[in-house]
Structure 1
């Protein structure tokens, strides 16, 4: 069963980084829902993430970055209006953009990649400390509702080494039903 670690524990970020650097998939809170995260540059970890979620590898997951300026390292943004990224990010938005980098094929779909820059301190510190993007998807079995509480994804606890608990996430159940990615 997954170890439950409060994100308020002084060593929580370092602990999460160690799990991810070891190739693990962990559960983390974001500003919207709980997510499953792993190193986006580790293809074995990405395959584990798909196995834990029981998700078809042809359905991509998001690339989670810490800085808006890093988006250009992974996706084409020259066609976007000036200032658009700064107005939308960081925040609870996934942008679907054309990929410019060679990534694990399961991170891309028809040359597109989902990009997130969460406005959530724990995730910001985690990605920054890791030094690589996270592959990030909701912490639930595929086609089941997203979780705003850790107990809501209890079915996968035995398949991951750690759940980082931040309490109830900020996204309400009503908002969860109406969210869609922005496509450019």
Structure 2
């Protein structure tokens, strides 16, 4: 079961109901429906992923994207990744120059692939770059939510910028009042282990035949092994 908590504000960030004082245990379907409803209303939703807790909004909703930057105190020049439910949907939002099999060897999983963005993607999302990072977390809840939304999610870690990533919902308690919904999936990984807070491995695949590691993350060794040994890609300095 996924636990759902109401946030302290309404979907657009206005004053909400009792919010944090109310905690309900929702069934899987109800939790997915609640998350999709909050996202479609322009809200920010905290969700568990396969690495750390994240905050998601609709990537095509420019107001919600601005809200994520405000929530985190994030540098406006730092890009947000998009999150999809399946590899097939990636082709709509990205120009892919690697084999489909390579994508499926890495996704779903704790890896962010940086690719050329397509015209389908909201121009207000990372307007300063022609690239976009794509996440398909190996976590059934967020993938089901992503599948139920018409466009991609924008996804970032559930923490104030420059602070440590979070592995439980209580660790980002200071963000609760600005969230429309919090999905409590329990602790992610080993809360005592610094390695569990590294987040996804971010790799740029936008240059044909090459790759560059933007962030080592938690899956560096296995990712590099697949790219070099199986597909013969050459490492490039970031």
Q: Could you state the TM-score of these two structures normalised by the residue count of structure 1?
A: 0.90
CA distance in 2, matches of 1:24, 1:150: 17
> Alpha carbons of 1:163 and 1:43: their partners in 2 closer, same or farther (altered >3 Å)?
same
Greater Cα shift, 167-176 or 30-39: 167-176
Shift of 1:57: 2.0
Find the counterpart in structure 2 of residue 107 from structure 1. Answer: 126
Mapping for residues 1-184 of structure 1, pairs under 5 Å: 1=8, 3=20, 6=25, 8-77=27-96, 79-101=97-119, 102-107=121-126, 109-170=128-189, 172-177=193-198, 179-184=200-205
Q: Secondary structure at the match of 1:125?
A: helix
Shift of 1:169: 1.4
CA distance in 2, matches of 1:179, 1:125: 19
> Alpha carbons of 1:176 and 1:81: their partners in 2 closer, same or farther (altered >3 Å)?
same
Kept in 1, the 8 Å contact 2:51–2:199? The answer is no
> Alpha carbons of 1:38 and 1:120: their partners in 2 closer, same or farther (altered >3 Å)?
same
CA distance in 2, matches of 1:62, 1:7: 28
Shift of 1:106: 3.4
CA distance in 1, matches of 2:199, 2:133: 18
5+ residue gaps, structure 2, are 1-7, 9-18, 206-238
Q: Secondary structure at the match of 1:157?
A: helix
Shift of 1:110: 2.3
Shift of 1:33: 0.6
> Alpha carbons of 1:10 and 1:108: their partners in 2 closer, same or farther (altered >3 Å)?
same
5+ residue gaps, structure 1, are none
Equivalent pairs counted in the alignment come to 183
Shift of 1:109: 4.6
Shift of 1:115: 0.3
Shift of 1:8: 4.6
Shift of 1:147: 0.4
Greater Cα radius of gyration, structure 1 or 2: 2
Indicate the RMSD between aligned Cα atoms, in angstroms.
2.0
